[in-house]
Amino acid sequence: MLIAQVIGTVVATRKHERLVGTTIQVVQPLKPQDKTPQGIPIVAVDAVGAGVGELVIIVTGSSARQGVDNDLCPVDATIIGIIDQLDVEDTI
């Protein structure tokens, strides 16, 4: 699982039949300690109704397909939770 921020929405009028009815977001993975960007933004199917600016939990790989309850869905990343509060202790 990764922590990310929703930074945009993808509109696709034509997409794979198993993606019809889904919302697709652009998310920026973040470092949990200070919420700074980590890596490049990725595209994720939204399973929970997140909006731009919200902190979210995403899963990738086979877990992403399970997040949309369809093992045959062509998905690499899925938003599975909206973060209400994030507390990380300084371990250094």
Q: Which helix (H) or strand (E) holds 81?
A: strand 77-82
Domain count across the chain = 1
CATH number of the domain to which 1 belongs: 2.40.50.220
For residue 22, is it within any domain? yes
What's the rounded mean pLDDT across residues 49-61? 95
Range of the domain at 17: 1-57
For residue 45, is it within any domain? yes
Q: Is the pLDDT of residue 67 over 90?
A: no
Query: What length is written for the chain?
Result: 92
Quote the percentage of the chain above a pLDDT of 70: 93
State the DSSP code for 17: G
pLDDT in tens, 12-28: 989 888 888 889 999 99
Give the pLDDT band (50/70/90) at residue 50. very high
For residue 87, is it within any domain? no
Note the pLDDT of residue 92: 63
Whether the pTM exceeds 0.85: the reply is yes
Give the pLDDT band (50/70/90) at residue 48. very high
Within 8 A by CB and 6+ apart from 46, the residues are: 6, 22, 23, 24, 25, 78, 79
CA distance 25 to 8: 6
